[in-house]
Amino acid sequence: MKKILFIGHRDMFFGAESVLFRIISHALGNKAAEVSVVLPYGRSNGFREALRETENVSVIRSPFRLVNPRALLSLLIMLWNNMALLQLWVVCRRKRINVIYSNTCINIIGPLLAWILNIEHIWHFHEQPTGGSFRWIPAFLYPLYRKLLKRRQNLVVFISHQQKELWEKEFGITIPRSVVIYTPARFLRKQEVPVRQAVVFGFLGSFTRPKNILPLINCFGTLQHKYPEIPARLHIMGGGEQKGEIMRTIQALGLDGQVSVLPHSRDVDDFFAGIDIFVLPSDFESWGLVAMEAMSIEIPTIITSNTSLTEILTHREDTVFIDPAQPDELLRAMEEMLIQQVFRDNIAKRGYQKLKALNLEAAFEKEVSKLLLV
């Protein structure tokens, strides 16, 4: 039996962690492996607790840090991580770990540890290169990344073919061992809700600048002034560094009564039951799992075009894609959804039908089973 050390990149239950949790659950459910999980110290919203509630999972805390886009900070992090490497080397020896599974590309301690121990490593990339000035990884670390990615015992999991091509272009190499596994959305429980008096837009995610929450609020405010006769609301759920700026923007636009800011919750059923249209206008989304969850209960979606969901969804049939660099596109898409109920109902219906037809869940389970046999 495999003895796998899963290394999560944060103790927060968001998209990448929900995928990691499903893979761990699959390994346990199929009795495919003995499982230990390493998480960094830091803020938590229940991920660690959920793991500890899972039978036969050992959870270990470690002081490691993630790679940062800023070169100097990443250099200091690499030095700092030596202490965590020693701790985890001891853990691996004591538990006789023979596979390490690292979540996200900025989580470098896992591939380094596997290299030192000369054991199998699975590296699950969730991020996507932006093609712009922002880089997940500082350039000085690229030679090290190339070496780690080309290791014979390293297998990279990509979430789309587009993401794979972009990373190979970014590093200037062909990654010898890789697999593409589309991440399926959970099909949420659709609730019976009373008829609403207002059309409700919704956003769910981290409160960071790349999520484009401020342009979303501005577009909503524009629609409020243009269509005062159509009652509308905007619900924003999540948390993060931009919360203060979000609250100030809402107040400055006089939208206190129309925009609600809600704390993040693991149970998102009530959030989705309270909205009519889901909007994900991010600068980039490697996948967009939360948008697929909305589609699973027939909520129409507006999604950034800088996402790998363009591989499986069709513009103006299953969803509406918008260029995040063009705020007018977001405004036009929101306006069309607001004033044309037939259009948004058709998008909702076809989006749901597309998810059902794709049956990503079965393919995911099959590929993860093969993955854990490395």
Residues of the chain where predicted confidence (pLDDT) is lower than 50: none
What pLDDT sits at residue 131?
62
What pLDDT sits at residue 87?
97
What pLDDT sits at residue 83?
96
Query: What whole-number distance in Å separates Cα of residue 125 and Cα of residue 238?
Result: 23
Domain membership of residue 31 (yes or no) is yes
* Same domain (yes/no): 142, 212: no
Query: What whole-number distance in Å separates Cα of residue 123 and Cα of residue 251?
Result: 43
Nearest residue to 237 via CA among 257, 276, 197, 266: 266
Query: What whole-number distance in Å separates Cα of residue 274 and Cα of residue 281?
Result: 19
What pLDDT sits at residue 54?
82
* Same domain (yes/no): 71, 206: no
Per the rule left: phi > 0, alpha: psi between -120 and 50, beta: everything else, 288 is: left
**CATH code of the domain in which 17 resides:** 3.40.50.2000
* Same domain (yes/no): 167, 205: no
* Same domain (yes/no): 296, 354: yes
Domain membership of residue 176 (yes or no) is yes
Contacts of 330 (CB under 8 A, 6+ apart): 212, 215, 216, 219, 279, 281, 302, 322, 324
Burial of 151 (0-12, 13-18, 19+ CB in 10 A): middle
Token representation of residue 284: 């980039």
* Same domain (yes/no): 20, 169: yes
Contact in structure between 193 and 159 (CB atoms under 8 Å): no
* Same domain (yes/no): 236, 343: yes
Of 125, 153, 180, the domain-final residue: 180
Query: What whole-number distance in Å separates Cα of residue 370 and Cα of residue 374?
Result: 7
> 145 phi and psi, to 5 degrees?
-60, -45
* Same domain (yes/no): 53, 141: yes
* Same domain (yes/no): 161, 255: no
* Same domain (yes/no): 145, 279: no
> 322 phi and psi, to 5 degrees?
-130, 145
Please count the structural domains in the chain: 2
Contact in structure between 322 and 262 (CB atoms under 8 Å): no
Domain membership of residue 372 (yes or no) is no
* Same domain (yes/no): 221, 295: yes
* Same domain (yes/no): 15, 60: yes
Query: What whole-number distance in Å separates Cα of residue 270 and Cα of residue 35?
Result: 32
Specify which residues 239 forms β-bridges with.
Answer: 206
3-state secondary structure of 336: helix
Domain membership of residue 90 (yes or no) is yes
Residue 199, H or E segment: strand 199-206
Domain membership of residue 185 (yes or no) is no
Query: What whole-number distance in Å separates Cα of residue 99 and Cα of residue 120?
Result: 5
Domain membership of residue 169 (yes or no) is yes
Domain membership of residue 214 (yes or no) is yes
* Same domain (yes/no): 207, 321: yes
Contact in structure between 208 and 320 (CB atoms under 8 Å): no
Domain span at 311: 199-358
Which sign, positive or negative, has the C-alpha torsion 225, 320, 19, 357? positive
DSSP of 321-335, one letter per residue? EE-TT-HHHHHHHHH
Q: Order of strands, edge to edge, in the sheet holding 154-158?
A: 57-62, 33-40, 2-7, 99-103, 120-124, 154-158, 178-180
Query: What whole-number distance in Å separates Cα of residue 157 and Cα of residue 231?
Result: 45
Token representation of residue 202: 């919704």
Domain membership of residue 368 (yes or no) is no
Of 114, 146, 180, the domain-final residue: 180
